[in-house]
Amino acid sequence: MKLRLCGIAALLLTLFTTQSEAQLSAWHAAVQLNAVVTGPTSIELQWDPTISPEGTIHIWRRVPVSTGLGEYLGEAPVSDGSFAVEGADLSRVEEYVAQRVFKVNDQDRSGLGYITVGQELPAVDNRGRIILLVDASVADELESEIERLKRDLIGDGWQVIRRDVARDAAVPDVQETVIETWRENQAETKAVYILGHVPVPYSGHTAPDGHLDHIGAWPADCFYADMNGFWTDNFFDQDSARRDQNDNLIGDGKYDQSFFPSTLELAVGRVDMANMPAFEKSEVELLRQYLNRAHAWRFKEFTVQTRALIDDNFGFFGGEAFASSAYRSYAPLVGRENIYNNVSSEILIDYMPVLREDDYLWSYGCGGGTYRSAGGIGDTDGFTQGHFKTVFTMLFGSYFGDWDASNNFLRAPLAADGYCLMNVWSGRPHWHMHFMALGATTGEATLRSQNNGNSVTTYYAAGNNRLGITMALMGDPSIRMHVAAPVNNLSAAAGDNVVGLNWEAPEDEDVAFYNVYRSAEADGPFLRINDEGITATSYDDATAQNGVNYYMVRAAVLQESPSGSYYNQSQGVFADAEFERTSTSVAEATELPGFRVGPNPAVNYVDVNFGLAQSESVTLRLIDVRGATTFDTELGTVSGNVNYRVPLDNLPAGMYILELNVGEKIYHTRVVRQD
């Protein structure tokens, strides 16, 4: 018989639960939403009409990342199983909130569900800047894998800023490194990827698992996500925790805050295999194994079935319903009909044995815990045995949410042989992962879950939904749920005033179109140069610049999910070509007497100056990297010193080509517009 209690606290809650409530499960505390597009501006929200007890479903609509429930749309009986929505704007992401209201022993109870909906949403070209924070003690041995990771991130639209830090560095110094990097471009910096045992911040006077011997400071990677919060070390002075690291004394470098002191700006994820001796492989080899796995996932070298597994050993638990995190999130991700659980499924759910035999995209397990186990789920040693076949994992139980402990159960799935790329401690509080159905990263889902109730967005659920510093993502914050196969055999060759690109279509992939990107530097940033999606497997770049041009090609597929659809781009594949224009009518603008452009980079305008010894007809154009003209003017017939101011304030940031047509000659130079 599987263990279904979590120490004394669980026993007491179980004893004082009414008989009717004992018949409820975490399943009842969630609304499992799917969406079907039924027209240009209409959708149908669907749920399980058979779930009992009966009640009423209330529906709201809002823009994602907003406070409150949003616009109230109406209600329907649970037994209807659906609700028709009119006036939907499917060209953007809309979020829908569903609340099921029912009674148990004349007491109001509710279940909540969330889903983001969109149809044929555009492909994402730019994901922003990501800070790759590397433990310097493992950097040399993993240099080739880290460089490959950097290329993979660039190939998914990221600009990568790598910072190596000493394992014994002071936590405030590491945070200052992050803050300084963020300040270089606050608007574009989105995430921090921690690789290795980068110093672990501790904070709080808390024990969200309810154990008196666990009150104190917990690991708090959120410290690296907060760019302007006020953290103190002046209030708590306790040393009674079972684990010395949890003791929190005044002035010991561990912070006081149990909740984020301000809204978090960055999505932080950690891949850390330190102090995991249960595994035969060394720390470095475990990191290498994870990096190899993440690379293989990005390039679709392995796939898993789009389904989810839930092994819940707590149940309704006085209304906290820890596993409702999974029921609520997994339906929009894989479809409620593809969720296998130990409440409604006819199959026997036993977490580790099932996942050694069969693959599931998502999985959840909860049970009475220790630092290295969860009752009814397994222990860290279990992760050392066999191939663990799930990619995105959520676990919950006592103690192991304190993830910096030896052989920690929360980090163990990432160290295991198999597929796992992400794990979070979900139940106190609940996590909300439904955004990933339309292409969001693990980091985006993490940040939205962490900022719940923090003046940014609101997600209601059973129990305490804002336990702050204990929320941490174990895994790569840039990973996405859906992957498309990349193109094959990309080549780039300089021709007569063009660079010709050729590639082969990916096998077994229904490609909608391709996008081509170019950069003046190997590490980017890469900007898309085609206006419309390319359906052929070749492209001629007529706007190539003299010197080395770096190219990236990505395949886009129309990705459908139970939340709608979006154009999902594959990893980028790279090629470069050295180019020199052969036409005698084209020259670098520096060959024009007296030529200068300033300021460059520029914000609002750029002044163009040059001299002509004789009268010439002059036109001036500004061309973006896609070849589109953004500014065009005729200066007429001029001579002598010429000065003209080109406005830039209405243009997006990026690189542009300034083209001067002087008589029969064409002159080019680059202009950079910055925010």
- CATH number, domain of 179, equals 3.40.50.10390
**145/229 same-domain check:** yes
Question: 387 in a domain, yes or no?
Answer: yes
pLDDT value of residue 348: 67
**451/330 same-domain check:** yes
Task: Quick: pLDDT tens for 47-72.
Answer: 999 876 678 999 999 988 777 788 99
Question: 420 in a domain, yes or no?
Answer: yes
Q: Can you tell me the distance from the alpha carbon of 434 to that of 449, in angstroms, rounded to the nearest whole number?
A: 10
Q: DSSP letters of 201-251?
A: -EEEEE-TT--GGG-EEEE-GGGGT-SS-----SS--B---SSGGG-B-TT
- Out of 70, 86, 118, a domain closes at 118
Beta bridge partners of 629: 623
**278/331 same-domain check:** no
Q: Provide the edge-to-edge strand list for the sheet that holds 538-541.
A: 488-494, 499-504, 538-541
Instruction: Tell me if 178 sits within 8 A of 254, measured CB to CB.
Output: no
pLDDT value of residue 586: 42
Question: 295 in a domain, yes or no?
Answer: no
Task: Quick: pLDDT tens for 380-394.
Answer: 999 999 899 999 999
What ranges in 299-397 are assigned the alpha helix state H? 324-334, 351-357
Question: 398 in a domain, yes or no?
Answer: yes
Task: Quick: pLDDT tens for 10-53.
Answer: 332 332 334 345 578 888 899 999 999 999 999 999 999 987 66
- Out of 421, 455, 483, a domain closes at 483
**216/257 same-domain check:** yes
Tell me the average pLDDT of the chain.
90
Instruction: Tell me if 402 sits within 8 A of 218, measured CB to CB.
Output: yes
Instruction: Tell me the mean pLDDT in the region 449-459.
Output: 76
Q: Which residues contact 118 (CB under 8 A, 6 or more apart)?
A: 90, 91, 92, 93, 94, 438, 563, 564, 565, 566
By the 10 Å C-beta count (0-12 exposed, 13-18 middle, 19+ buried), 547 is classed as exposed
- Out of 289, 324, 340, a domain closes at 289
Say which CATH number the domain at 638 has: 2.60.40.1930
Say which CATH number the domain at 394 has: 3.40.50
DSSP 8-state code for residue 78: G
**566/638 same-domain check:** no
Range of 58's domain?
Answer: 31-118
Q: How confident is the model at residue 9 (pLDDT cuts 50, 70, 90)?
A: very low
**328/457 same-domain check:** yes
**454/368 same-domain check:** yes
Say which CATH number the domain at 520 has: 2.60.40.10
**313/231 same-domain check:** no
**529/639 same-domain check:** no
Q: DSSP letters of 436-500?
A: GGGT-BHHHHHHHHHTBTTTSB----SS----GGG--EEE-TT-BS---PPPEEEEEEE-SSSEE
Question: 123 in a domain, yes or no?
Answer: no
Q: Can you tell me the distance from the alpha carbon of 441 to that of 483, in angstroms, rounded to the nearest whole number?
A: 12
Task: Quick: pLDDT tens for 165-180.
Answer: 999 999 999 999 999 9
3-state secondary structure of 528: strand
Measuring CA to CA, which residue among 108, 417, 454, 416 is closest to residue 257?
454
Count of structural domains, the chain: 5
**327/406 same-domain check:** yes
Question: 298 in a domain, yes or no?
Answer: no
Instruction: Tell me if 208 sits within 8 A of 467, measured CB to CB.
Output: yes
pLDDT value of residue 463: 59
**353/467 same-domain check:** yes
Question: 591 in a domain, yes or no?
Answer: yes
**473/593 same-domain check:** no
User: How many CB atoms are located within 10 Å of the residue 388 CB?
Assistant: 24
pLDDT value of residue 245: 94
Question: 561 in a domain, yes or no?
Answer: yes
